Amino acid sequence: MKLINLLAATMLTVSLASAEDVMKKSMSIMENGMTQIQQGFLNNNLELIKSGSALVKEGNALFSKKEVIAEYLPKNKKHMVNVAENAAKRIDLDVTVLELNLDDKAYINAANAYSDMLNACARCHSIVRSW
């Protein structure tokens, strides 16, 4: 019986650590992507913007499912899973809008999409982290 309890505790610990690893990896990838996009706009470097948007998409995909988000959130924040999920959807849409505007050479609109992406990140962080 003790062995079963020990195995159950180990599995719970591994699953919680795994959720945190996904969250940390996702946020790190998105941070790098957002930084590249900003540098691309500041230096008129379209390739940097495009590579940054690809990173944001990749990172956002890792941490956009309700189940993964719920595993990461502390007990007293579990009810806010929809806030984080909606932010992920907004970021996904903004990346698409940014890329479409880049293709159309509508750089101001692309920059506005980047700005909205940044606002989605800040809004989620402020609510979920109680800033």
As given in the structure block, the two tokens for residue 27 are 């946020």
Residue 1 has pLDDT above 80, yes or no: no
Q: Which of 71, 116, 115 is nearest to 89 (CA)?
A: 116
Token readout for 13 is: 């610990």
Where in the chain are the domains?
A: 2-128
Other beta carbons within 10 Å of 11:
10
What pLDDT shows up at residue 82? Answer: 92
* Cβ pair 49, 40 in contact under 8 A: yes
Query: Tokens in use for 39?
Result: 């540098």
Question: What CATH class is the domain 2-128?
Answer: mainly alpha
Over residues 34-93, the pLDDT tens digits come to: 999 999 999 999 999 999 999 999 999 998 889 888 888 888 888 889 999 999 999 999
Q: What is the model's pTM?
A: 0.81
